[in-house]
Structure 1
Amino acid sequence: MSSCEIYPVIEELSLKGKKFCIVTEVYPNGKVKRGVVSEGKVIVGEIDPFALEGKEEVEIQGMKVKIMTDCAEGNPNVIVIGSGKVARHLVSLMNFLNYPVTVVGDHDVDDSFEANVVNDMKLLPTLIDENTFVVVANEGGKHYDVSGVEMAIKGGAKFVALMASRNRAALAIKRMIDSGIKEEEIKKRFYSPAGLDLGSKTPQEIALSIASQIVAIARGGGGGHYMLKKDPYSLVGKVQEENCVWIDEKKEHEYPSQRC
């Protein structure tokens, strides 16, 4: 089973906020079996029951089979604090990625955002839990930026980012320390300047760098180049070609809508 069968399934599970695991069985003879598991059930694929025991190696039909499990939570809630161009582009990107988005401001956010809008900063703590990602994105900064960061940190948000210069980030950190938040707690969850180093220049690119950082933290990624982590040159001449044949779901009554 290849990625073109698995991706539609995990996309739907993520959209529903459900945790899922991609389970891979590797046999001594080179045979590989993959499937998707959610809520203790095999959603797609032909996974042996032994592979669901949480072990790294099991015995199936007299063979020692390696089990690799890659799990992910459903998409976390994202709160964007701000009303500028970067905030708008970030909301659009997170919507595209199927992350639930809420925009928070201080009576300065209009209803044109494609998201739930809360125009009262005092309500921010009620929107936050331990799996919430908060981004403060106001070009040039606004009076409530650092207050929003403080509320998010104190509220236990998993990720709190402030779009700021290095100097403004340092000032925000000092203010939080002065308010009683421990520096160790700030270092664990506060990201500023916000985003990954993509060389971003435009508001769209800056939003993309922040969205990329959110995905990296949510999925446990490092933000580096994949080709450096998974070197393809070491496998040249050792692998067989994979082909996908897409089928019309109007003609085929099966799920997912493509077969490989």
Structure 2
Amino acid sequence: MAVVKRLEPPREDGPQLISTVIVEDNVSSCTIFPLLSSLIANGKTAVVVIERRGDVEVRSLIADGVLIVGDFRHLAYYREALQAGRLRKDFEDGYVIATRYDPAIPLVVVGSGLISRKIVETAQASGFAVVYVTDSPLPPKDVLTAKLEELGNVVNERTAVVIANEGGREYDVDAVDTALRKGAWYVALMASRRRAQDSIRELLRRGHKLDDLRKRLRSPAGLDIGTASPGEIAVSILAEIIGLKNGASFRPMVEVKSPFEGL
């Protein structure tokens, strides 16, 4: 049995509050990730616990020592995860992984290939709060995952969304369409110039406005840093997200803070 504490709407004059208790039988990533996004966007630190025993997986979200959603037993891992950043405990029939999330950018990665996995891996190492939307039969164990049909449940105006499939997948445009309509502040589609144009034409056919797509859709995705490998592509996309979020100039630091001026 899971206990859910509902988050009040965001306040302009302070952090989000936690109120009404609701009881649920199952907790999915679609429940946890929007709550996690709200917490970290409002300056809170949270811990996500993923426990797998046999075929059963249980997830929990904890903040300020309070169980927001999940299993009360997971409170036992909260302080250790808060101090260590991440912990893993293995058992004969499964494991527990607890991860601390500091105030950060909520990121939704959609895909199933090597590049999407590398984006997830690099984003986690860089402090992003990540949910991986994939149809992969073997998704990573240490990340929140969701099914493709659940994408609309994990995207909101606070999230950045990256759709990354080598060569493209039939659902790519559907994912972009959903992210745009859900108001995601950053939407990127990894694509060649030609495939990006084809995707834009389809989005126009679905009713999106060209001016809006110019402002909101980043495709091809990422910064031009001469990328070639999956890791470099991941870095170029994540650097763009961080730069846009922070209002960066995207100039070299040696120009921004030149040590040569005045010498």
SS in 2 for 1:234: coil
Higher strand share: 2
Report the secondary structure of 2:145's partner residue: strand
- Equivalent of 1:86 in 89, 110, 115: 115
Unaligned runs of 5+ in 2: 1-38, 45-101
User: Which residue in the other structure is 1:217 paired with?
Assistant: 244
Contact 1:104 1:117 in 2 (8 A): yes
Counterpart in 2 of 1:125? 152
Q: Which amino acid aligns with 1:104?
A: V
Instruction: State the distance in 2 between where 1:85 and 1:95 align.
Output: 15
Tell me the equivalent position of 1:98: 127
Task: Provide the residue aligned with 1:115 in structure 2.
Answer: 143
CA spacing shift, 1:109–1:225, aligned 2, 3 Å? farther
Distance 2:202 2:258 in 1: 44
State how far apart, in whole Å, the 1-side matches of 2:111 and 2:172 are: 8
Runs of 4+ in 1 over 6 A off after TM superposition: none
Give yes or no for contact 1:196–1:223 (8 Å, CA) kept in 2. no
Please show how residues 171-210 of structure 1 align to structure 2 within 5 Å. Answer: 171-210=198-237
Give percent identity, aligned residues only.
34
RMSD: 2.1
Cα separation, 2, equivalents of 1:184 and 1:227: 34
- Asked if the contact 1:124–1:151 (Cα under 8 Å) also holds between the matched residues in 2, the reply is yes
Q: State which structure, 1 or 2, has the greater radius of gyration over its C-alpha atoms.
A: 1
Q: TM-score, normalised by structure 2?
A: 0.60
Displacement of 1:212 after TM fit? 0.8
Deviation at 1:235, TM superposition (A): 4.0
The alpha-carbon distance between structure 1 residues 109 and 17, as it changes in their structure 2 partners (threshold 3 A), is farther
**Residue 138 of structure 1, aligned match among 153, 165, 170:** 165
Note if contact 2:164-2:190 (Cα within 8 Å) is conserved in structure 1: yes
Q: Per-residue deviation at 1:144? A: 0.6
What is the alpha-carbon distance in structure 1 between the residues aligned to residue 141 and residue 173 of structure 2? Answer: 22
Cα distance, 1:102 vs structure 2: 0.5
SS in structure 1 at match of 2:260: helix
* Residue equivalent to 1:150: 177
Change in CA separation of 1:168 and 1:160 when aligned onto 2, cut-off 3 Å: same
Whole-angstrom CA distance in 2 between matches of 1:109 and 1:213: 30
CA distance in 2, matches of 1:17, 1:144: 29
Distance change >3 Å, CA 109–CA 190, structure 1 → 2: farther
CA distance in 1, matches of 2:213, 2:152: 17
Q: C-alpha separation between the residues in 2 aligned to 1:95 and 1:229? A: 28
The number of residue pairs the alignment matches comes to: 168
Which runs of 5 or more residues in structure 1 are unaligned? 1-14, 21-72, 237-260
Map of 1:16-55 to 2, 5 A cutoff?
A: 16-19=40-43
TM-score of the two chains, using structure 1 as the length reference: 0.60
Q: Secondary structure at the match of 2:109?
A: strand
Partner AA of 2:232 in structure 1: E
Secondary structure at 1:195's aligned position in 2?
Answer: coil
Q: CA shift at 1:214, angstroms?
A: 1.2
Q: Distance in 2 between matches of 1:116 and 1:90?
A: 14
Alpha-carbon distance in 2 for matches of 1:175, 1:113: 35
Following the alignment from structure 2 to structure 1, what is the Cα–Cα distance between the partners of residues 240 and 224? 9
**What are the superposed Cα offsets for residues 184-231 of structure 1, whole Å, 9 maximum, x if unpaired?**
221221101001111111111111111111111121113221112222
Q: How far has the Cα of 1:122 moved from its partner?
A: 2.2
Contact 1:80 1:134 in 2 (8 A): yes
Distance 1:235 1:157, change over 3 A: same
98 and 75 in structure 1: CA distance in 2 versus 1, 3 angstrom threshold: same
User: After superposition, what is the alpha-carbon deviation per residue over 1:156-186, rounded to whole angstroms, capped at 9, x for unaligned?
Assistant: 0000001100010111111111100111221
